[in-house]
Amino acid sequence: MPALISQGLDQFFKVFKPLPAGFYGLHHVIIILCFMALCRIKNPEQLKKHPPGELGKLIGLDRIPEVGYFRKKLRQITAQSKVDELHTALFGSWTAAMPELFFYIDGHVRVYHGDKANLPKRFVSREKLCLSGTTEFWVNDQEGLPLMVVTGELNEKIKSAIEEIIPKIQKAITPAVKPTEPTFTIVVDREAYEPAWFKKLWNEHRVAIITYRKNVKDKWDSSLFHDVETQTYNTSVTMQLCEMGTELNGHWFREIRRLSGNGHQTSIMTTHPNLSLSDTAVKMFSRWSQENFFKYMIADFDFDRMIEYGAELVDQKRTIPNPDYKVITYQIKKAREKKARLEARVFQQLEDEIVISSDLFKQTILKNSNLIEKITEYNEEIDALLKKRKNYPSRISIAEMPEDKRYNKLKQESKKLKNAIIMLVYRAESALYNIMNEFYNDTGKEGRVILKEIFTSDADMIPDYENKKLTIRLHSLSTPRANRAAIELCSFLNQTETSFPFTNLKLVYETVAL
């Protein structure tokens, strides 16, 4: 509870209006959702497997709500349509405490296997397939802590998502005083690579970019690289780095390369004018913290679960690539590929025979006459497809699509609420994890495992209304080292002097372990 409060639990109670009169209020529902996430209870139906009276004590009542009633309360929250306002409030509170304004942006595809919605297909890298789904674009800090999530309606690319995210970030931060300093810096993968677009972001918004450079064919002289000692994840690391200026598409960029032990050179480019060589490399390589965040969310928080069934309309005036135009373009591409393979076979044989004699050259032409005929057929097919494609516009509006194929989107409000909950819970768990790092040597390996054990272990709750205290007495954990970590954690949490929300009872933590 102290960690949840420190990460912005009160923002939920400020943004949402109180629920209609009933036994369970807004704060009961929100706290239950947070405790469910911490205990890895993936959905309300799984509450049936747990004693309702024991879980009810966690919120100060005799039991938690029945599943159907609980879902009714959730609908009362999402019906307020204030989840976007909640995300803005949380983002503002989290960025206010950031020492450096570096934002890591990446997309995550939620694959959809249902039939309620007609969603466009997109490439899912973890499954190496094109599947129907919705893309969520996440904004994290350097440590992988989530800050914001924007849900794409259709098949948005990461560049268009970034252009949507930039104004939201600008509203929540204080811009740099010096005109040479960027307002903030975005760290992104190669998917958003476009040098002219990077310069556009700097010229229009004074937003810097750090990313990997694409299509690097040259190699720098290894003698140019020198050892640079840096700090990554509180660990001292020595890297061989070199920096030069590079012109790409008529624009100049800073390019930093890292030389690996096997001779491979990793190229990083940036529009940040003042960031040091070592800091630029560390910021870029820290992008893996966001990948680890996605992996942990999928494994522990059922990241992609469908929350609410049903679909809703998207903006009917919005234009998209014409599906019929794309089909014909794909057919043209395949026909050209087949034609090119046949031409390569014929030209290779002609090149071999022409050196020997002209008679053999004529024989080779006759021998390959059937291939030449097929090449002619492909030329005619390509011309026909090109003429057919002219009858279709390259882009159409959603309203112009056939009704049975018209794109829509999944209901988003409940998923946005879940995203807000898991962002809060992950940040709270990470805060406890960072505290453990100060007194537990193997936090990197066992820190989160011990925390999950604490969340799901038995404990006594002893209210003392006279002295305004609520004592939480943890039972013994599975190992002595876990108990020692719990003792230190209790000692730290007691120093926060946190009161349970909407009560005057101060939380006091202790453990029966000696």
Amino acid at 63: R
User: What is the token pair recorded at 345?
Assistant: 């076979």
Same domain, 259 and 349: no
Distance CA 137, CA 155 (A): 12
Distance CA 457, CA 474 (A): 8
- The last residue of one of the domains, among 58, 79, 100, is 79
Same domain, 377 and 459: no
Q: State which residues form the domain around 116.
A: 86-300
The H or E element spanning position 89 is: helix 83-95
Distances (CA, A) of 419 to 17, 289, 293, 310, 502: 19, 18, 13, 18, 24
Residue 173 lies in a domain: yes
C-beta neighbour count of 97 within 10 angstroms: 7
Phi-psi region of 263 (alpha: psi -120 to 50; beta: other; left: phi over 0): left
Distance CA 416, CA 5 (A): 20
Same domain, 75 and 93: no
Instruction: Report long-range pairs for 109-113 (Cβ below 8 Å, ≥24 apart).
Output: 109/133, 109/134, 109/135, 109/136, 110/134, 110/135, 110/136, 110/303, 110/304, 111/304, 112/306, 112/410
User: What is the token pair recorded at 221?
Assistant: 């002289």
3-class DSSP state of 383? helix
Residue 431 lies in a domain: no
Same domain, 47 and 151: no
Residues 6+ positions from 465 with CB-CB distance below 8 Å? 505
Instruction: Give me the CATH number covering residue 179.
Output: 3.90.350.10
Which residue reads 């193997």 in tokens? 442
Residue 105 lies in a domain: yes
Question: Do 135 and 106 form a contact (C-beta atoms < 8 A)?
Answer: no
Same domain, 355 and 484: no
* DSSP 8-state symbol, 24: S
Same domain, 123 and 52: no
Residue 408 lies in a domain: no
Residue 379 lies in a domain: yes
**What pLDDT, on a 0 to 100 scale, did the predictor assign at position 94?**
94
Say how many domains are in the chain: 4
Residue 419 lies in a domain: no
Distance CA 480, CA 477 (A): 7
Same domain, 252 and 194: yes
Residue 501 lies in a domain: yes
Instruction: Report long-range pairs for 473-481 (Cβ below 8 Å, ≥24 apart).
Output: 473/510, 473/511, 473/512, 474/509, 474/510, 474/511, 474/512, 474/513, 475/511, 475/512, 476/511, 476/512, 476/513, 477/450, 477/453, 477/513, 478/453, 480/513, 481/440, 481/442, 481/446
Residues 6+ positions from 237 with CB-CB distance below 8 Å? 229, 230, 231
pTM: 0.86
Residue ranges of the chain with pLDDT lower than 70? Answer: 175-177, 233-234, 306, 348-368, 514
User: What is the token pair recorded at 215?
Assistant: 């299509």
3-class DSSP state of 478? coil
**Packed helices 413-436 and 67-78: angle between N→C axes, nearest 10 degrees:** 100
Residue 416 lies in a domain: no
Sign of CA pseudo-dihedral 346, 347, 352, 357: positive
Same domain, 219 and 338: no
Distance CA 271, CA 256 (A): 11
Same domain, 131 and 278: yes
- The last residue of one of the domains, among 49, 79, 109, is 79
Same domain, 73 and 101: no
- The last residue of one of the domains, among 55, 79, 103, is 79
Distance CA 131, CA 119 (A): 9
Phi and psi torsions of 97, nearest 5°:
-95, 5
The 3-class secondary structure across 249-270, one letter per residue, is CCEEEEEEEEECCCCCEEEEEE
Which residue reads 């309360």 in tokens? 73
Same domain, 168 and 253: yes
**What pLDDT, on a 0 to 100 scale, did the predictor assign at position 391?**
92
Same domain, 164 and 233: yes
Distance CA 443, CA 477 (A): 16
Question: Do 494 and 469 form a contact (C-beta atoms < 8 A)?
Answer: no
